[in-house]
Structure 1
Amino acid sequence: MTSHARPSGRTAQALVAVVTAKPFRSAKARLSAALAEPLRARLAAAMLADTLEVLATTLPPEAIVAVVGDDAGAEVARSHGVNVVRDEHLGGQSEAALLGARVARRELRARTVVILPADVPALTGEDLAALVEAANRDAIVIVPDRHGSGTNALALTPPDALQPAFGPDSLERHCRLARCTGRSWRILRLRSLALDIDTPGDLAELARVLAGRPERGRTARVLAEIAATDAGAAGQEVSSSQLPSEPPSSSRVGR
């Protein structure tokens, strides 16, 4: 696995956010039946940009690492002034997260890392602050997706407290791994981090959440274009009527 980090500063960072982004042209493959590749690529770029922007409201650029799979992702990350790590191996989200955590620990001397995917543009500064606060109390914090089976974020103190294991049913897997570490850990349910984008129903929920939030303009504009095109429709009405209920706000697990 090869990385090309371009740190914007070598000052030690107490907390570093690691954002992972697949190559834009292969991103959101599960939406291929509903969205043509150019729209999927534009959506992936918009979500990465909006996610980096909300992180920048809480963290300085030198405390953000973007692990990207292609030149287009690197260009978006550099335009936000954050550290860029090129994932040459493209081994998946877990390997990208591990790569970013290693860079954060070794090059930026991070005490804590917050790991999240690029496709969480609904993230709010309030929920990010809640995640950081939780990381100050527990060594491992696990944020589930809205279905309660996947993982949309990890906060780890130290950055190698747990090896990321994303993918189907990763919530249960991460909980099992956390228990084995003997460190303090918790599950933290955050609404804005619960929504990642894999299905047309996820797109519908994202459109609902972002309505009236002009600061997420890039993603909202692409969603509007998707709603207006035959490729975006593809028999799937972009409507909030398909949406499952929101998960409960929080829960805690001990050692």
Structure 2
Amino acid sequence: MKAKWSAIVPFRGTAGSKSRLIVPGSARPSENALRLASAFAADLIEALAAARRVGSVLIVSARGGAGFASDGFDCEWILDSGKNLNTAAEAGIAAARAHHPDRGAVVLPADLPLVRGSDIDEMLDTADDHSSAYVSDRGGTGTSALTLRPDFQGRPRFGADSAAAHRRNGFAPLPVDPAHPVRWDIDTYDDLVAARPFGFGPRTEEVLENLLRETAIAPASGP
């Protein structure tokens, strides 16, 4: 049996989450962006719960773990300090290693609503061959996943041009297909529209459908 991994999901979970994810015609853009961001996170965590290579999930968030836990699955939560994604990822890695020092850690930002359990397993099977690795986003400059074996001490370098920063700091690029769901991070409404035909998780699809219905009737329901 292949070794399990600890998964870390940083999720800001505040009103400023996904400020660029604005549904056209929305009367409450910040609130609705947070609704979508929360649905993304919930679908990702369900995918992690379904992955055979993942033994536990640790959520780093300002809002707590309520609504994210899966029945019968080891899902924990620690408080996000609110500084930045790298600080949150480092806190999650440290906590995961304290709980399961023999496991590798995989960091996945919470904006990957296309991912399923089998996608996670496929990526981690490839990551087994590396002490540390990253998956670049569709654009090739950002990072949508990071893997670290127990003996690797490198630090996350999320942010502008993070793929190059991770490569400079000892992380190997994982050979993941350009169309792989783990590369589809969703930052804007255009991203959302482009990704939808490939099939979101159920929470994301439900929230998006409700938002589109609300915005369609907004002009008739008030100023």
Same fold, judged at TM 0.5 (above): yes
Q: Does 1:196 align with 2:185?
A: yes
Which residue of structure 1 aligns with residue 19 of structure 2? 29
SS at match of 1:42: helix
- Following superposition, the deviation at residue 131 of structure 1 comes to 1.6
Structure 1 unaligned blocks of 5 or more: 1-12, 180-184, 234-255
How many Å separate the matches in 2 of 1:84 and 1:61? Answer: 16
How many Å separate the matches in 2 of 1:128 and 1:188? Answer: 14
Which residue of structure 1 aligns with residue 109 of structure 2? 117
Corresponding residue to 2:67 among 49, 73, 76? 76
SS at match of 1:100: helix
Alpha carbons 1:145, 1:196 under 8 Å: kept:
yes
* Matched positions, count: 208
Q: Give deviations 1:83-132, integer Å, cap 9, x for gaps.
A: 11111x21111111111000011122243001001110111223211221
For 2:40, the aligned partner's letter is M
CA 1:159–1:105: 2 relative to 1, 3 Å: farther
* Paired-residue identity, %: 29
How many Å separate the matches in 1 of 2:43 and 2:56? Answer: 17
For 1:84, the aligned partner's letter is W
Taking only aligned residues, the RMSD between alpha carbons, in angstroms, comes to 2.4
The 5-angstrom pairing of residues 81-230 of structure 1 reads: 82-87=75-80, 89-158=81-150, 160-178=152-170, 185-190=172-177, 191-210=180-199, 216-230=201-215
Which residue of structure 2 aligns with residue 5 of structure 1? none
Alpha carbons 2:10, 2:60 under 8 Å: kept:
yes
How many Å separate the matches in 2 of 1:18 and 1:99? Answer: 9
For 2:51, the aligned partner's letter is T
Alpha carbons 2:127, 2:174 under 8 Å: kept:
no
CA 1:94–1:197: 2 relative to 1, 3 Å: same
How many Å separate the matches in 1 of 2:186 and 2:13? Answer: 15
For 1:170, the aligned partner's letter is S
Query: Larger RCO: Structure 1 or Structure 2 (Cα < 8 Å, ≥ 6 residues apart)?
Result: 2
Q: Report the TM-score when normalising by structure 1.
A: 0.73
Structure 2 unaligned blocks of 5 or more: 219-223
- Following superposition, the deviation at residue 79 of structure 1 comes to 5.6
Alpha carbons 1:14, 1:109 under 8 Å: kept:
no
For 1:158, the aligned partner's letter is P
Alpha carbons 1:143, 1:151 under 8 Å: kept:
yes
